[in-house]
Amino acid sequence: MGEARVHVDGFRMDFGGSTVIRDLSFDVQAGETFGFLGSNGSGKTTTIRALLGIYQPTAGVLHINGKSFTPEDGGRLGYLPEERGLYKKENVIELMTYFGRLKGLDRHAARRWSLTYLERVALADKANTQLGKLSGGQQQKIQLGVTIMNEPELLILDEPTKGFDPVNRRLLMDIISEQKVNGATVVMVTHQMEEVERLCDRVLLLRNGTAEAYGTINDVQNQFGGRVIRLKHGGPVPPSRRYEATVSEANYSELSITDTTDEADILKDLIAAGVTVRSFTTTKVSLEDIFIRVYGGQNKPTSRDHEMAEV
């Protein structure tokens, strides 16, 4: 592994006698995009705040670039919190220019960068509009611009596309991808599994303050079965040592299998058992499926939009 941009080791956080983070350890390598995942209340925001020095950890080490974060390090960091907050009475271009100057740009450079960014996110006509008169999604685009305008080496983005429609979500995903290409390390806190599968090199799933899974997306998929057979059928699917039925309904099942299992043998077994097989396809277990298994509701199918190949 290369240089760790973020290093967390043995992190524990207690609040009022309750332990909310337990012995959490992980690294984020320089230049990668890292997905920090978890349900509400799992401890994600607490970890980010401790990493940024907002909270003092009960125990453990939390380092950015090899040391504890201080406000003097802020010029190398871009942080987009889930709770957005900008001066809503200021007009957009003056607001962005002001923050650009706080981040070390001169007024001309900050204004030029801001106008280019506004053009990119289809808000050029809002440059002289008071921020508070923009929609929530438009304000979110402005805050992302403020976050990345100094080209920070580390970006921490908490739900960056929350509430966006698919077009604007894709636009912001493209912008985040460009930051990585330009050398930034990106930590994404998100519930959008499509974003994670598209952008992230590695992920950590946090559950009740502990790491439920950690590694590359392929590693995590293999940890939770590796592959899934999506099956439309008539008649009950019998139990088998070859698979685990993670979804079981009257006419639809999902069967978790390992990478070494031969799905042709499973198909033969099903037919021999009298199951009427209407469609049968094998895919990698999706992060959405894994998320639901980890955080509850694992007995419900999570997606029916996968192409089902007719047998």
Distance (Å, whole) CA 144 – CA 176: 10
**Domain edges within the chain:** 4-220, 224-295
Assign domain 4-220 to its CATH superfamily: P-loop containing nucleotide triphosphate hydrolases (3.40.50.300)
Residue 310 is predicted with a pLDDT of 26
Residue 72 is predicted with a pLDDT of 82
The CATH number given to 224-295 is 3.30.70
Cα 119 to Cα 13, 91, 93, 126: the distances in Å are: 43, 16, 12, 10
| pLDDT block averages, 10 residues each, the chain of length 311 | 83 93 95 92 92 94 93 85 77 93 92 96 95 89 91 90 83 90 92 85 93 92 83 94 89 86 93 95 86 66 31 26
Distance (Å, whole) CA 186 – CA 31: 8
